Amino acid sequence: MYQLIKPLFFQFDPEKVHYFVVKRLKWFHDHFPLGQTILRSSFDVNIKGLERDVFGIKFKNPVGLAAGFDKNGEYIEALSNLGFGFIEVGTVTPLPQPGNDKPRMFRLEEDAAIINRMGFNNKGVDTLAERLRLLRAKNTEIVIGGNIGKNKNTPNEDAVSDYIKCFDRLFDVVDYFVVNVSSPNTPGLRELQEKEPLMNLLNTLQQRNRKNDISRPILLKIAPDLTNEQLDDIVEIVLETGIAGVIATNTTIDRSGLHTPEQVANETGGLSGKPLTIRSTEVVRYLSQKSNKAFPIIGVGGIHSPQDAKDKLEAGASLVQLYTGFIYEGPGIIKRICKALV
């Protein structure tokens, strides 16, 4: 069904189509009398043997939705009924911000890829926290991750305070945190991946984390463009700070090997989709082997088929996440992956 209507969707601006689809999915879920039942019977994954216990959290299956798809936590329930084992919201910043100028999302159909330069557009952490509080009051079963970042106008020397604000505000309503210092769409953000500022940021959050009666797993999301020496630093930083794990990887700034005409392929922003499949798996494998599997890894990047997901898991990932593959292949890919894993 999805493959029949996808050509129609792909005739329109990708950002406009995104919101058109998810808003109607939410309406169908919330208002159509049998909406939830229909979604669950069509897509939900009710297969034994898929459960995973990772960094102290029980996941009903290992296939999650990556951050960026539902930045403000507006569509969590409807999306969870498509079969996802967990939903990651954000990236969220302390203050609302509009993001970069439009157009800021581009399809590369020849490469089954997307370039985006959204720029952390979101309604701010207070809005997200209140929405999640209301959701938690009626549904505690959905595993939710909170992906946190800094506002564009916050200088890097003050970035830690932005992450602390988001961490404190979301602490009671998310199951785990993701520290995003790897988006290429906020000027200077990737500089926070350097060893000294990253150690400071993660140690500060861990100190905050340990002061609570309970603690939340903190993960670090890294870029696929890091060198092996930088990945060695990441392993050392994760082990020294004691954070829960790594998400590998974010979007790439590399444009090599693309088939899409340069006019689109050279748009500024982060590239996701099939061109990232091999590199993201390489990063997962390198981190897993270098650390001797000392911490969990969530593999994300270019998962368009069950085999892509299996490759990530066999490389050392404990869980996987979808975004661009979900757009190109449709919601049925979640169940197909889960069936293949069993």
**Which residues are designated catalytic?**
183
CA-closest candidate to residue 83, choices 340, 309, 319, 336: 336
Long-range contacts made by residues 312-316, C-beta under 8 angstroms, separation at least 24? 312/280, 312/281, 312/284, 313/62, 313/341, 315/281, 315/282, 315/284, 315/285, 315/288, 316/284, 316/285, 316/287, 316/288, 316/289
What is the number of other CB atoms lying within 10 angstroms of the CB of residue 231? 19
Q: Which two tokens stand for residue 172?
A: 């009671």
Q: Positive or negative, the Cα torsion across 202, 204, 207, 208?
A: negative
Q: How far apart are CA 28 and CA 34, in angstroms?
A: 9
Tell me the β-bridge partners of 320: 63, 299
